[in-house]
Amino acid sequence: MGYEPLVKKNPLRVLKIGTEGTSELGLVMARAGLGKTALLVQIALDAILMGNRVIHVSIGESIDKTRAWYDDILRYILQEHSVTRPHELIDMVQQHRMIMTFKEASFNRARLEERLNDLIMQDIFKPSCVVIDGFDFEGTDRAAIEDIREMAAAMSLQVWFSATCHREDKRVSPAGVPAPCHEVDDLFGTVIVIKPEENKIRLNVIKNRGEAPAADAGLDLDPTTMMVVKKS
């Protein structure tokens, strides 16, 4: 069963994410609790609905907590859109998504690459997209991110990261990317910063496939559901 209508109606279509053949890194930034994981899950589900396989790497969180994010967002999708056989969609997502967990101290390119290659070589699961939630940008160096970018290029993977920024840290790159990613923003093709504004949660797209957006992307996160919506 095709899910082209869900893909076409997805507000994320205004961005260039999910473009076939890209191995660029993507970055989602926000202060704690503003929707980084929710946005990563929606990016992952968008990739799945386009027929791709996704590995969700959760650093410092349990499989159950990560799975609950997918369950919640799928429930909202099914509430908002008419799907003829919803159980087929749920089953398809489960078949095209795998969740990996790592302790914070044990995550690096070598361990991730080893686990990915084990899955691929045994013909168990071959992803085209990896999302990495909970990566410690404050406790790492540029070389670690360059390592993962090199791995992404070698394995033809789209890789998305989340990063936590802090209100009191005013450092920012010339392009507008806040700390702790202000000195590594050139490594990412797409950068989205989630910002609260009054009763809204805006998606500020700083880079989109390496290009500065010509205008506001026009996207918000619904503060109740954390779903991406067109700006009201």
List pLDDT tens digits, range 51-87: 999 999 999 999 999 999 999 999 999 988 888 888 9
| pLDDT value for 1 | 47
SS (H, E, C) 181-209: CCCCHHHEEEEEEEEEECCEEEEEEEEEC
Residue 131 parent element (H or E): strand 129-133
Give me 12's structure tokens. 């994320």
Choose the weakest-confidence range: 3-7, 38-42, 102-106, 180-184.
3-7
How would you class 7 by CB atoms within 10 Å of its CB: exposed for 0-12, middle for 13-18, buried for 19 or more?
A: middle
Q: Can you give the pTM of this predicted structure?
A: 0.93
Q: How far is CA 224 from the centre of its chain?
A: 20
Tens-digit pLDDT profile for residues 99-137: 999 998 899 999 999 999 999 999 999 999 999 999 999
Question: Among residues 104, 98, 105, which one has the least CA distance to residue 60?
Answer: 104
Distance CA 27, CA 13 (A): 17
Distance CA 193, CA 203 (A): 6
Which domains, from first to last, does the chain contain? 22-230 (3.40.50.300)
Q: Of residues 93 and 217, which shows the higher confidence score?
A: 93
Tens-digit pLDDT profile for residues 143-172: 999 999 999 999 999 999 999 999 999 999
Give me 229's structure tokens. 């919506």
Query: Which residues are registered as beta bridge partners of 205?
Result: 192
Residue with tokens 């078949």: 95
Q: Do the Cβ atoms of 54 and 40 come closer than 8 Å? A: no
